Chain A
Amino acid sequence: MAFQWKITIKPNVPPSPQKFTPNPLPNVLVSDEVFWSNDDTQAHWPGLKKDDGTIDTKFFMPNQIAPNSTSNAFRPSGPGNLNYVCSLPGHEKETGTIQVGSGS
């Protein structure tokens, strides 16, 4: 069995680190699932922030998250920190981290 963890995208807060709650997201194991719940009044699209600085937009989800809706689930397949950033224009300061431990 695996667990499922929710990251809330909060309205009316500065871009980082409070925009995503909790941030960082701890205690995730490789078998778990993570999703984003957008409580904001505008769309967001968390994408993977790669080591070379580029963004893999569709790493977590195939499309942006509309206001008052949620993303699909994401299941990490290896341990380590997954750094993400909102990939929509003007949202570059909205960043977060998922801490993935080993185990299943």
Chain B
Amino acid sequence: MTRRNHESNVQRHKPNPLRLLAATCGLLLAMLVLVPLSQAQQVVPCPTATDLLTVPEITSGDDHHLRGVLTLTDGLRTLWDTGSSRCASQYMRYFAGHSGLQPGPDDPAFAKGDLLPGPTFRAKVGDLVEIAFFNQVNTQDFPNSLDRGEYGTQSGCDITNVGKKGGPSQNANGDSMPNCLHGSSTANVHFHGTHTTPSTTGDNVLLFVRPVLRTNGKLKPSNEEVNASFGAFFQQCEQSGPPRLWTDMPKSWQTSQHDAITWYDQNTPYQGNPGPLPESAQLWPVNQQEIDQHLWPQYQIGAFPYCFPLPAWGFGSKLKMGQSPGTHWYHAHKHGSTALNVANGMVGAFIIEGDYDTALRTFYKSNPAWNTCKDPQSNSDNCFQEKVLVIQQLSSTLNLTNPQGQGPHTLPIPVLSINGRRSPVIKMRPNQVQIWRFVNGANRDAALFQNFVPQGSQTSCSHQSAKPCVHWNQTAQDGVEFAPANYDPGNAAGTGYKGQAQDASFNLAPGNRADLLVQAPATPGKYELKVQAGLCRFDCNPQEETLVTVSVEGATISPGMPFVPIQNFPNMPPFLNDISASDIYNHRDLVFHDNVPKLEINGKQFNDHVINQAMLLNSSEEWKISNLDATKEHPFHIHINPFQITEVFQPQSTSAKKGGNCYADPLKPETWKTCSNPTQNFVWWDTFAIPASRQDALPTSVCTQLDKCPANIQKYTACTTGNAPTCTVTIPGYFKMRTRFVDFTGQYVLHCHILTHEDRGMMELIEVVPDTTLYSHH
């Protein structure tokens, strides 16, 4: 984005509570930031600048505390339209923030025209995370973004009237509460990839943090209330850890939230009329009921203090698992608005460092020639530079009226961007190796990494040793380092999902992360990284995009930086050793299906009062997770504990479609499985795109009516009627995973990470329950 656009798009910058305090102290700088600049929405020139933007960081200190303010705010930002080549200023809700828990302005980078991801959190394994979260969204900037009639007589779902001059109005979305898009100015924060408590002030996605109330120009709860209460709370959390009960919170915060929520219940407009809300839609009675049952009250207003450990596994620890060091992330996760919130920009990277990072950095410091890259931003000479790359799919609206992509306006899908810009340029010196930490924070599309192509060429240079090219070698998946055998840079053939060797294509589904060592050639030039964006591989017509462009320029590094040799690659900590088959306590089957118009797991939509799966603490389980849909690879995600994949079956793969040993015969369900599995060094994931199903039409000689089809395939078969009836067999895709439910009890969720699917019901509530009791029998 050009400087001109930077300046013209500083529309308004709403204060957070702590910033207001600074302003009252007469700080001129803060006062300048506070001044709201009014400018109407308009069509604007499209941004042209492409340098990669670095997102401001909030880092933990030597005292092992990550302290930061995370502000959810809104303002006008320039967006591009994939369908019409327009760009326009749009109201967007996004994260800003700053280090420390003290009053002060958010980093000024967030006030510029680019829609950056939220601040990058950088902590170390063993740290305590303390995040003061403020929801400062001005709901006047968004259509019906407070829940309407959530428990009332109307559906409460977002609606979009569709009509033309003289034509009828209509509401084309048939969803119902709670599995519909709703309440998009309410948010919370999911710390995706953390192994910590899912309860109280931890990775608690059952929270609904509503926007701060604005009454006669004043905020409720006030800044003074928040600051005083949070100061006392964080001090308490540092001493004794996260609270167990709401009554453990400072009394002042309990009172402040009671007052704010009660005011909300009495004054919020309902169906076009001023408050109070009908009793069935009021929030405090729900909170009170939960408090009475020693549950955490789910409704909060204006702010929430997150405080939880990133537990370190090791000598003397009682933990069965620890927090894995790696590339994690955070994003809004309020059911019904995760898709729109993430599309607006409520995402950020969360880097948790540990021995993995130390080992890689140590290797690349070993040669003086690799310490000649002056970086003013990091004040370091080391050429092993890191790029944190957050993929987004920014949009101010979702295609609510045509949830199936059908109807009069099948809208173009938003393109992928990185750190707020489309196809940004990353500069590298010849022979340099950098580490790129990718986060796929898109709300919809996977990015299937293909290859590098020299700019202006139609032919890839990857996999060709004779041509200069940028190469990559993956080192970690979903924030968990590879076993050295899976990293092996000498394995040019690749090992599929087990691990990625040099330049191997891989799929980064929404929610996935991947760390890549990226190596520039000795020859200067520009190289484009090509990905295919879409809902699935194979026959899904994905869009090819240039994700980033590498500009190789400057002085050559000599000797060149190699990929770290396998003998220098960090070993995995013991808690990441394979889960063996003998450890498995229980097996489960989950089936994902877009059963139009309902998005289901095991034939059911999410029900907000039902726990779908209950697991014993300290047990290991093996799950088979299947997909009945042929055009969508639902990315399965489970919170709190990562999992190891032991088997993947892709019925649309070439080997499964062609004849031979791996052929999946539609008439023989016993052949619907993979024919090659890893036996050890299983890769850890926390999100995995379930392979799409394959739908084979049966020859009419086999059957044209369901009851005439072979009995062993009838439950997978559907037949049409009419003049030319045909029967089609669905061969489900699947994967199997093993996981340990250890260290933390509590309720949390699993879901599809195509986030409109999650919002519309493809989610389950699960609970890990204690495996011991205080009761005795003697």
Interface residues of chain A, those whose CB is within 8 Å of chain B, are 1-6, 21-22, 27, 29-33, 35, 37, 39, 43, 45, 48, 50-51, 56, 58-78, 80-82, 103-104
Query: Which residue of A4, A31, A66, A74 contacts B273 across the interface (Cβ within 8 Å)?
Result: A66
- In the complex, the answer to whether A33 meets B397 with C-beta atoms within 8 Å is yes
Residues of A within 8 A of B145 (CB): 70
Q: How far is the CB of B646 from chain A (nearest CB, A)?
A: 39
Residues of A within 8 A of B163 (CB): 48, 59-60, 74, 76-77
- In the complex, the answer to whether B396 meets A58 with C-beta atoms within 8 Å is no
The stretch that binds A, out of B100-108, B406-414, B506-514, B653-661, is B406-414
Query: Which residue of B40, B399, B409 contacts A77 across the interface (Cβ within 8 Å)?
Result: B409
B255 at the interface (CB under 8 A from A): no
Residues of A within 8 A of B401 (CB): 75
Q: What are some 15 contacts across the A-B interface (CB < 8 A)?
A: A1-B79, A1-B413, A4-B90, A4-B396, A32-B397, A35-B143, A39-B140, A66-B273, A71-B144, A73-B158, A73-B160, A73-B400, A75-B409, A77-B163, A78-B164
A50 to B169, CA, bound (A): 13
B677 at the interface (CB under 8 A from A): no
B215 to chain A: closest residue by CB: A68
- In the complex, the answer to whether B83 meets A70 with C-beta atoms within 8 Å is no
Q: How far is the CB of B380 from chain A (nearest CB, A)?
A: 39
What is the interface of chain B mostly: helix, strand, loop, or mixed? loop
- In the complex, the answer to whether B140 meets A61 with C-beta atoms within 8 Å is no
B263 at the interface (CB under 8 A from A): no
Residues of B within 8 A of A81 (CB): 165
Q: How far is the CB of B431 from chain A (nearest CB, A)?
A: 40
Q: How far is the CB of A67 from chain B (nearest CB, A)?
A: 7
Residues of B within 8 A of A71 (CB): 143-144
The 3 closest A-B pairs by CB, nearest first: A66-B269, A35-B143, A63-B272
- In the complex, the answer to whether A72 meets B40 with C-beta atoms within 8 Å is no
- A63-B271, A104-B83 known; A72 vs B159 contact (CB < 8 Å): yes
B663 at the interface (CB under 8 A from A): no
User: Number of B residues whose C-beta is below 8 Å from A?
Assistant: 50
Residues of B within 8 A of A82 (CB): 165
Q: How far is the CB of A7 from chain B (nearest CB, A)?
A: 10
- In the complex, the answer to whether A64 meets B272 with C-beta atoms within 8 Å is yes
A73 to B272, CA, bound (A): 14
B80 to chain A: closest residue by CB: A1
A3 to B84, CA, bound (A): 11
Residues of A within 8 A of B269 (CB): 66-69
Proximity bits, B620-639, A CB within 8 Å = 1, else 0: 00000000000000000000
B274 at the interface (CB under 8 A from A): yes
A37 to B185, CA, bound (A): 15
- In the complex, the answer to whether B160 meets A33 with C-beta atoms within 8 Å is yes
Given contacts A33-B160, A70-B143, A77-B408, 18 further A-B contacts (CB under 8 A): A1-B83, A2-B399, A4-B397, A6-B91, A56-B169, A58-B161, A59-B163, A59-B169, A64-B272, A66-B273, A68-B269, A69-B144, A72-B160, A73-B143, A73-B160, A75-B160, A76-B162, A78-B165
Residues of A within 8 A of B142 (CB): 35, 70
B316 at the interface (CB under 8 A from A): no
B407 to chain A: closest residue by CB: A77
Query: Which residue of A2, A31, A60, A70 contacts B140 across the interface (Cβ within 8 Å)?
Result: A70
- A5-B41, A66-B272 known; A76 vs B91 contact (CB < 8 Å): no
B395 at the interface (CB under 8 A from A): yes
B81 at the interface (CB under 8 A from A): yes
Q: How far is the CB of A43 from chain B (nearest CB, A)?
A: 7
- In the complex, the answer to whether B160 meets A3 with C-beta atoms within 8 Å is no
B166 at the interface (CB under 8 A from A): yes
A57 to chain B: closest residue by CB: B169
Which residues, 488 to 524 on B, are CB-close (under 8 Å) to A?
A: none
- In the complex, the answer to whether B144 meets A104 with C-beta atoms within 8 Å is no
Residues of B within 8 A of A30 (CB): 409
- In the complex, the answer to whether B272 meets A2 with C-beta atoms within 8 Å is no
